[in-house]
Amino acid sequence: MLNSNRSENKMGLRHENSYAAADELQARNEILVNRVNNLQNYIKQLAHDLKTPLTPLVGASELLASSIDEQPWSDLALSIRVSAENLLRMVDELLDLERCDCGTLTLNYSAFDPVRPVTEGAKKAEAGVPPSRATIALNLSPTPLRVWADEMRLRQVITILVTDAIKFSPGGAKVIVSVIPGEATTGFTVEDEGTPIDAGDLAHIFEPYQPVHGPGRRIGSNGLTLAKRLIELQGGNIGANNASKSGNIFWFDLPVEKSMVEEVATWPRS
């Protein structure tokens, strides 16, 4: 009888400890959820506060750049416009990253030929720099292609990769944008003439918030992080490697058929 009472007491103590541990875990989870919600609200408010003065600045700088022809003032006006547009783009990228992390990003899938959004995305990046800064060469397939993806997000990824390629290439360099047909996927590459990325950096080139040590190091870009997440959310793959002679090649692919895309895309991937 005594042993039975002891066993019951031990079991009761275990249950009490289990309940206490569960309550503590729930309390910690609630604290974590509150912190995440506060961070999300902070990012949204910060983006709103930044975009409010930037939006009219972009419009005014476009008007200024289009109305001045005399050098060096026209170049200065162009520099103001490009800087304002880049700041606005970075704010939008920050918001998109937050949406990816929280699983609230909406993708509008459709079947389309990727040539037009690729061309538009590359030209948008090219328009943001002086003509002498870089030349964009498009290597497009003469035959009709097909992808099942979000057309706007494809255009955004191309703009991010081409902008990054121009930024890290020497003046007057050529950036080659290619679309490669395939059976299950359609491939895309952006090749630059910049300094080859160190092998150790290639493994982390798309990781967020990486520290940058030394000039020309291409890690820590929110744009590249966003590009990776957008492609993977659409069922594709993305990567980077050194070109055979010099420079670097950023590549990704997208499915050609709806059936190849997961019904529910989540981040991060397992």
Residue 73 dihedral angles phi and psi, to the nearest 5°: -70, -30
Rounded to a whole number of angstroms, the distance between the first and last alpha carbons of the chain is 53
Instruction: Tell me the per-residue pLDDT of 80-97, one tens digit each, with 9 for 90 and over.
Output: 887 888 888 888 888 888
Long-range Cβ contact pairs of 240-243 (< 8 A, separation 24 or more): 240/197, 240/202, 240/205, 240/206, 241/202, 242/196, 242/197, 242/202, 243/191, 243/196
Q: What is the pLDDT of residues 176-217, one digit of tens each?
A: 999 999 889 999 999 998 888 888 788 888 887 665 555 555
Residue 265's pLDDT is what? 46
Residues facing 174 on adjacent strands: 135
Tokens at 65, concatenated: 């750049």
Token pair, residue 209, equals 């918030």
pLDDT of residue 210: 64
Among 14-18, 93-97, 119-123, 213-217, name the most confident range.
119-123
Q: Which domains does the chain have, with CATH numbers?
A: 2-102 (1.10.287), 109-260 (3.30.565.10)
**pTM of this structure:** 0.76
**Beta-bridge mates of residue 111:** 148
CA separation for the pair 145, 21 (Å, rounded): 57
